[in-house]
Amino acid sequence: MFGRKASTTRRLWKDAPDPGDVEVIPDPHPDAELAASVLRRVLVEVGGEDVAGFDVAVAVSVSPLTFTLEALWRGVADATADVILNRWNAGHTVPRVHAELDEEGRIRVCADSTLVSNSGVTVQQLDEWMRRALAGVSALGAYLSTRWTEGAEPVGSPDLPVASGDITALVTDDNRYGLRGGRTPAVLLPRLRGGEQATEVKDAGASGRRGNGYLRFPSGPDVVLHDGTLTVTDSVPLGETDADTVDWLCALCGRANAAPGGVVSVVDSGPGGTMLTCAVHRPVGSGLSDSQAADIVTRDRQVVVEALRLLLAEVTDA
């Protein structure tokens, strides 16, 4: 799994525990290092330190509570990186990727996945997010290896605290780990309206999975639910553009995708013209509490609007 070396570590929970029926709310001001110790524990127990071809690290920040997985590919890309990585971002929900220059001036591929939740996360949600992120990183490795070859040395990982014992014992009222408990019902489109008017369109998609579809609001980003992934997305048409302009737009999106927060920006050019899109993707197969659902949809729609506004400002000023 994840294209990693065999791990001798045994997970101490079975498929991640059910959050239970008793509502547990973490402290509104979680401690970043305590939360990070739990995240590193999940990473270790799912074998995420050994994803083939990548150096993987995790981190947590607060205000809002944000869990991040970052992966640096050990290969070296070339000048086509922005276009190649734009194709990945346009066709996959995880991980988000962009190109950066390292200290030796080589073009490197950086990948990340972000989970933001002001109201805390369950262990089960962390587990699902981590596994999907690592599976995506593994798939990315296969995608990149058909285009470029590895050529950089592994980066050493710092020795950081890892939570010990039973993680579920940390799920207590007012805990500083950012962990919550309680019911996390299945995510269905009617739960995502947030009291706003929206047109619901059901779409079984290729999988035929129950609940797939999208919400179209009178203004602002759409909310899409597809096979356990919640996406908030918005696009603007740019009309007909030439090849050089598309390349420039790919580079612009690449710079935007290096910013924290998890918003992915892509450009799509076809017979109908060029489209600029911003989106946030998150796994919701483990369900969401009512407070999580309300917070996530509100927050994600706001950040997508702002990201698209900033991109359009650069396009207009160019």
pLDDT at 221 over 60: yes
Average pLDDT of the residues in 145-170: 78
pLDDT digits (tens, 9 = 90+) for 41-83: 999 888 887 788 999 999 999 999 999 999 999 999 999 999 9
Q: What is the dihedral of CA 241, 244, 247, 253, to 10 degrees?
A: -60
Q: What is the CA radius of gyration of the chain?
A: 20
Residue-level pLDDT at 257: 98
Residue-level pLDDT at 1: 31
Residue-level pLDDT at 45: 85
Other CB atoms within a 10 A radius of the CB of residue 270 amount to: 7
pLDDT digits (tens, 9 = 90+) for 263-298: 999 999 988 899 999 999 999 999 999 999 999 999
The two tokens of residue 209 are 């999975």
pTM across the whole model: 0.91
**Per mean pLDDT, which range of 9-23, 124-138, 209-223, 231-245 is the poorest?**
9-23
pLDDT at 220 over 50: yes
Nearest to residue 109, comparing CAs of 138, 85, 133, 142? 85
Beta bridge partners of 39: none
Residue-level pLDDT at 165: 81
Residue-level pLDDT at 154: 65
Q: Enumerate domains of the chain plus CATH numbers.
A: 10-183 (no CATH), 185-318 (3.30.1460)
pLDDT digits (tens, 9 = 90+) for 96-109: 999 999 999 999 99
The two tokens of residue 304 are 């997508």
Share of the chain above pLDDT 70, in %: 89
Residue-level pLDDT at 166: 85
